[in-house]
Amino acid sequence: MTVSRILSVAAVAAFASFGAQASELYGSEIEAKFQSTRDRAEVQAEAAQAVAHFKNFHVVDTRSASDSKVSRADVRADAVTAARAGAIATGNRS
């Protein structure tokens, strides 16, 4: 019993020491070695230009598209019929 307890404590200690060294194992020094080739003003100017182009989007008015010729009750009746026939998924089973 004591041998198994000693081995389990040794295994936990080994895993803990590997976890403590994870920063060196997974390459945390990559950020320290990185050298930028562009200056800060150039990057900020590019970001400002991208934001200006992003704001020029166009939203389509969905209300003016076309009015439906089918009533809400007809759509619901078709949905109930399709669900009973097993043609569409119902509930949380989908």
In the block, tokens 């759509």 appear at 75
- Which pLDDT value is given to residue 2? 86
- Please write the tens of the pLDDT for every residue from 3-62: 888 888 888 877 777 665 555 555 666 666 667 788 999 999 998 888 877 766 666 666
Task: Indicate yes or no: pTM above 0.85.
Answer: no
Give the DSSP H/E element, type plus range, for residue 31.
helix 30-33
- Please write the tens of the pLDDT for every residue from 57-81: 666 666 666 677 888 899 899 988 9
Residue 49, C-beta contacts closer than 8 angstroms, at least 6 positions apart: none
| Cα end-to-end distance, the chain, whole Å | 52
Amino acid letter, residue 48: A
Confidence of residue 94 (pLDDT cuts 50, 70, 90): very low
Distance (Å, whole) CA 81 – CA 61: 32
